[in-house]
Amino acid sequence: MVVKRNASPDQGTDLAYRVNSPDVRYHPDHIEADYRYQNTKVSQDASGRMIAEPTETHYQFKTESRLPRVGIMLVGWGGNNGSTVTASVLANRLGISWHTKEGLQRPNYFGSVVLSSTVKLGVRADTGADVFVPFHDVLPMVHPNDLVIGGWDINRANLADAMARSKVLEYDLQRQLRPHLEGLVPLPSVYYPDYIAANQSDRADNILPGSDKQAHLDQLRRNIREFRQTNALDKVIVLWTANTERFSSLEAGVNDTAENLLHAIRTSHSEVAPSTLFAVASVLEGAPFINGSPQNTFVPGMLELAEQHRVYVGGDDFKSGQTKMKSVLTDFLVNAGIRPLAITSYNHLGNNDGFNLSAPQQFRSKEISKSNVVDDMVAANHLLYPRRPANGPNGTKATAEPATEHDGPDHVVVIKYVPAVGDSKRALDEYYSEIFMGGRNTISLYNTCEDSLLASPLILDLVILTELMTRISYRVLPTAASSSLPSEVPEYAPFHSVLSILSYMLKAPVVPPNTPVVNALSKQRSAMENIFRACVGLPPQNDMQLEHKAFH
């Protein structure tokens, strides 16, 4: 059973469902919930045996429910992803359908976890059957049809010409959208040639003059302010979907602290990337910044600046197809007790992204983000991948100590540029694993898709969830033992400025310092889902279904 949402966009608390519990209070402009977060702390006794201790922490969540007017500014707006997501939002907003050889196609948001997936709310009181609601209805969320979209590009093509150049959407749709897009022109952008492939230089005809990085920063900040004012926006979110850059070198005194990074910008230091300049501009203008590409935009000084200003950042690198499959298949194999020995990922694509990635430094950025995605799944299973101290023997006894080293599978990433296939990326993967009694298993995958049709819905999910997170605050109540006096109850506060909750959409999730990186797709999704359930006082989804396993 799926419950349709019937709320009008500006009545955030009028969701498809309400929770009937003393732990949830619905106010005119916010929802407040008490939530007991349960965990298990593991320690070791004198004999080295692990001791597991259930714990409970009392959280309170507050979610502002009035929906703001939101704008997104895409860096790389004229690219395949930028033009495709803009065109697709317009097609949905205007209800434009188009003819294909399969018949009439209506617009949709398939591929968006927020807009096209559901969440199990609970079970029917009478029959016990599962009840599902749209993910978008779990909490008040903005709708992409209401987003104002703008942005920058180093190329001056208007969005209609950019859409045609991308060759992603069907002609009959492009034909109908052209009048709505040709008036949209990207703002001139920052172009530092050594950060992207030399083959991109012909594209760079819409760039800010000079090489003064402080002047560029000031201009980007003006752009963000003007976009917010011109469109009467309550919030602006900036998202990088421009070309993959080379990594910036991490240098003490340059990008190790917020102060040094701002100084490096004032002195136009070479190791300040365009993407980092956009991130600084966004944070200084109070706009969350999301990095959809693999480069290390978030140098330490950038993360410190975001923390100082309590502005959300998230990244890196959209997790769209081949890597998304990898974060599912590896999780399945390892959790089934099967030991991947080698994972070889090859793909070729013929779009401008592939053209840029054909350069070694840009490929290296992507290779890094595509290679680390199995690390957490491998580290979680010491039976298949024995932990060993940096210089000790294999197979030491499982302990609560973090894994120091483990020999994971051989992992190879290859990307080739083949112009003929355009945006229709071909991904070929082989998973070669050890199974029972020395056996071997080989799984081969062949995955073809328009890369931009996978990435575009992720852009919307990243923006919608980032905006939602700006309306959620929390506090931890002292334990009952301290019988908390009003003075002891802390104020509500935002989450850490690095939004690891976005990891489901990202290949190489950036996380707060000293916190674990989770890549397994199922864990990423349940973290998102259960945190939002907690915001309305609901327990985490656990699929135990004890009611169906007990004697009635």
Ligand X SMILES: NC(=O)c1ccc[n+]([C@@H]2O[C@H](COP(=O)([O-])OP(=O)(O)OC[C@H]3O[C@@H](n4cnc5c(N)ncnc54)[C@H](O)[C@@H]3O)[C@@H](O)[C@H]2O)c1
Q: Which does 241 bind (CB under 5 to 8 A by kind): ligand X, ligand LIP, none?
A: ligand X
- The reply to whether 520 sits near ligand LIP by the rule CB under 6 A is no
- Which one of residues 185, 299, 455, 518 is an interface residue with ligand X (CB under 6 A)? 455
- The reply to whether 354 sits near ligand LIP by the rule CB under 6 A is yes
- The reply to whether 376 sits near ligand X by the rule CB under 6 A is no
524 neighbors 462 (Cβ within 8 angstroms) = no
- Which one of residues 159, 272, 311, 357 is an interface residue with ligand LIP (CB under 6 A)? 357
Tell me the residue type at 248.
S
Closest C-alpha among 232, 211, 242, 281 to residue 76:
242
- The reply to whether 524 sits near ligand LIP by the rule CB under 6 A is no
Q: b/e map of 86-110 (b: 16 or more CB within 10 Å)?
A: bbbbbbbeeebebeeeeeeeebebe
Closest C-alpha among 162, 145, 81, 140 to residue 107:
145
The structure tokens listed for 164 are 């045609």
195 neighbors 359 (Cβ within 8 angstroms) = no
One DSSP character per residue, 26-78 reads E-SSEEEEEEEEEEEEEEE-TTS-EEEEEEEEEEEEEEE-SPPPEEEEEETTT
3-class DSSP assignment, residue 472: strand
- The reply to whether 373 sits near ligand X by the rule CB under 6 A is no
Q: Taking CB under 6 A as the rule, which mask of x and - marks residues 411-430 in contact with ligand LIP?
A: ----x---------x-x---
Q: How far is the CB of 153 from ligand LIP (least distance, A)?
A: 17
State the residue for tokens 């499982």: 398
Residues of this chain, 414-453, that bind ligand X according to CB under 6 A? 451-452
**Considering only 199-207, 320-328, 381-389, 509-517, which stretch makes contact with ligand LIP by CB under 6 A?**
320-328
Q: How far is the CB of 71 from ligand X (least distance, A)?
A: 17
Q: How far is the CB of 517 from ligand LIP (least distance, A)?
A: 16
Q: Prior bond to 205 cis, omega within 30?
A: no
Q: Taking CB under 6 A as the rule, which mask of x and - marks residues 244-273 in contact with ligand X?
A: x-----------------------------
Q: How far is the CB of 357 from ligand LIP (least distance, A)?
A: 5
- Alpha-carbon dihedral of residues 74, 318, 78, 83, nearest 10 degrees? -100
- Cβ nearer to ligand X, comparing 236 with 379: 236
- How, if at all, do strands 30-44 and 50-64 pair? antiparallel
Q: Which residues are catalytic?
A: 317, 366, 425, 507
Footprint of ligand LIP (CB under 6 A): 319-324, 347, 349, 353-354, 357, 366, 370, 415, 425, 427, 451, 507
Footprint of ligand X (CB under 6 A): 75-76, 78-82, 152-155, 189-191, 196, 203, 241-244, 274, 292-293, 317-318, 320, 351-353, 356, 451-452, 454-455
